[in-house]
Homo-oligomer: A and B are copies of this chain.
């Protein structure tokens, strides 16, 4: 039985197979619409996250399966002091696969060790959010046709943003990747990523504090939200949050086929005027998030290779 806890749990070959399946699903939605008939997904969200939860639920429903679960810890047995290892053993009686969102780092990992069903980490604190990374990879590959030979700009909060860290680690496994790291000094990529991933693997990168310095080189611009809850004081947040706002004016300097991604929700780091730019890909990204979760569920339930009945 496989789980997905860390974005690197899957090899490059497994990722490629998963993305192939997601693409196949995109092209033949109808064909896969009964693949999970009679199967149940449990969404155990100890921390609210509407977007991620609904994306998982849409994925399972699109496959013909059904969904049960909870949307916040208030309404869970956690309030009665139950451990996640007990909860997952019980939920294993109710469902065939589950997605867990938890404020504590490592909770989905612990759950997977006691689970009778595949566990998907749907975000554990500031730690990992592997299905966001899969979504990002699928979006890039679908838009650019490849995952290698790309210059990727990462802009905003590179210190606390877990999606950025995971994306760097995952893309570093492909050939010909170059990064442009765009952030204020206070929110630079931490050493343990810069040194232990980029330097060690010999991945070319540059660090700049001004988006305009690198705009013209980028194939992908990955914008991130400056999250209020990651800051230690309100003043720093207010001073920095508006520094890295993408506007149409800045977009004018970009390549005609650059794609703008964002894990969403955005607050104001992308001006709404950019939404109508054909290079704005962040809403398409939400759609790819459903396809990749469909592929993931099918894969973890060992239904991926099965010929779907039409």
A69 interface contact, C-beta 8 A: yes
Q: Which of A72-80, A121-129, A144-152, A172-180 contacts B (4 or more CB under 8 A)?
A: A72-80
Q: Are B265 and A77 in contact (CB under 8 A)?
A: yes
- Contact pattern, A 9-51, Cβ under 8 Å of B = 1, otherwise 0: 0000000000000000000000001000010101001001111
Closest to A80 in B: B265
Q: Are A40 and B69 in contact (CB under 8 A)?
A: no
Chain B residues near A38: list those with CB within 8 A. 33
Q: Are B69 and A54 in contact (CB under 8 A)?
A: yes
A66 interface contact, C-beta 8 A: yes
Interface residues of A in 78-92 (CB under 8 A from B): 79-82, 85-87, 89-91
Minimum CB–CB distance from A133 to chain B (whole Å) comes to: 18
Q: Which of A195-203, A248-256, A283-291 contacts B (4 or more CB under 8 A)?
A: A283-291
Q: Which of A55-63, A156-164, A302-310 contacts B (4 or more CB under 8 A)?
A: A55-63
Partner of A290, one of B48, B94, B272, B290: B94
Which A residues have a C-beta under 8 Å from some C-beta of B? 33, 38, 40, 42, 45, 48-51, 54-55, 57-58, 61-62, 66-72, 74-77, 79-82, 85-87, 89-91, 93-95, 225, 264-267, 272, 283, 286-287, 289-290
A sample of 24 cross-chain residue pairs with beta-carbon separation below 8 angstroms, ordered by A number, consists of A48-B76, A50-B70, A51-B90, A54-B69, A55-B94, A57-B68, A57-B94, A58-B93, A58-B94, A67-B68, A71-B71, A72-B74, A72-B75, A77-B265, A80-B265, A80-B267, A81-B267, A82-B264, A82-B265, A86-B264, A86-B265, A89-B286, A93-B287, A93-B290
Name 14 extra pairs, CB < 8 A, besides A54-B70, A86-B264: A33-B38, A40-B61, A45-B75, A50-B70, A54-B91, A55-B93, A58-B93, A58-B95, A61-B68, A66-B66, A70-B71, A82-B264, A93-B289, A94-B290
